Amino acid sequence: MQILVVEDERRMARLLEQTLAEEGHQIVVAQNGREGYEMARSANFDVIVLDVMLPGMSGLDVARKLRADRIQTPILMLTARDAAADIVSGLDAGADDYLVKPFSIDVLLARLRAVSRRGAIPRSLCLEAGGLKLDPATRQVTRGGEVLNLTPREYQILELLMRSAGRVVSRSTLLEAVWGFGSDVSENTLEVFMRQLRLKVDIREPKLIHTLRGFGYILREP
């Protein structure tokens, strides 16, 4: 599964990342609520593991905003609070399940399997911008009716940019979403992939992918 972990406590984040990766899952880690919210909006995940107490935006607020955006990715909420009122608040905010810290790894894995079975994520509508079309269901990308042959990394980058069309996506967000948190991939590597992606996507006018120097990239129509 593709799993987004939103956890600000570094030791816990590393534990979750290592444990889930050993189970064969692909993990992306966000270290604050706003970053987690933007990642959840911008890319496809099978499950979100969401801490409640987060800097920038609480886990409750992240869950509420995602549900308000009609993003139905299953959410497993983590918290040190075990009062009934806290659990009710988490579930009412949009979480599918609630796990109290400290927890057993076996229970965590079982809960993740359970929430992931609760239905497909309804995010398979085609994305379009400036004659560029991306179909998440088939992973086919076309521009002006011509099929673009993208590598898996190029496709992931483009999907993230298209889901964030009109908004800047930072380099760090792209690196973590495509290569995973803690990878040793450099920004120079990202630039190489962006250059290759542009050669395929922006082969005709108008140019859609733009660089904001010192920050990241944006896909926008003129």
Instruction: With a cut of 90, say whether residue 209 has pLDDT above it.
Output: yes
pLDDT in tens, 211-221: 988 888 999 88
Q: Mean pLDDT across the chain, nearest whole number?
A: 85
Between 176 and 111, residue with greater pLDDT: 111
40 or 81, greater pLDDT: 40
Instruction: Say if residue 76's pLDDT is above 60.
Output: yes
pLDDT for 120 equals 44
For the chain, list the domains and their CATH numbers: 2-116 (3.40.50.2300), 127-219 (1.10.10.10)
Q: What is the DSSP string of 139-201?
A: TEEEETTEEE---HHHHHHHHHHHHTTTS-EEHHHHHHHHH-TT----HHHHHHHHHHHHHHH
Give the mean pLDDT of 48-67.
91
pLDDT at position 132 = 93
Mean pLDDT of 39-61: 89
Asked whether residue 182 carries a pLDDT value surpassing 70, the answer given is no
Is the pLDDT at 181 greater than 60, yes or no? no
- How high is the pLDDT of residue 175? 82
Per-residue pLDDT at 136 exceeds 80 = no
Confidence band for 60, pLDDT divided at 50, 70 and 90:
very high
The pLDDT assigned to 183 comes to 63
Per-residue pLDDT tens for 89-99? 888 888 888 88
The per-residue pLDDT for range 138-160, each reduced to its tens digit, is 789 999 889 999 998 899 899 88
Determine the average pLDDT of the residues in 61-73.
87
Segment 108-119 mean pLDDT:
80
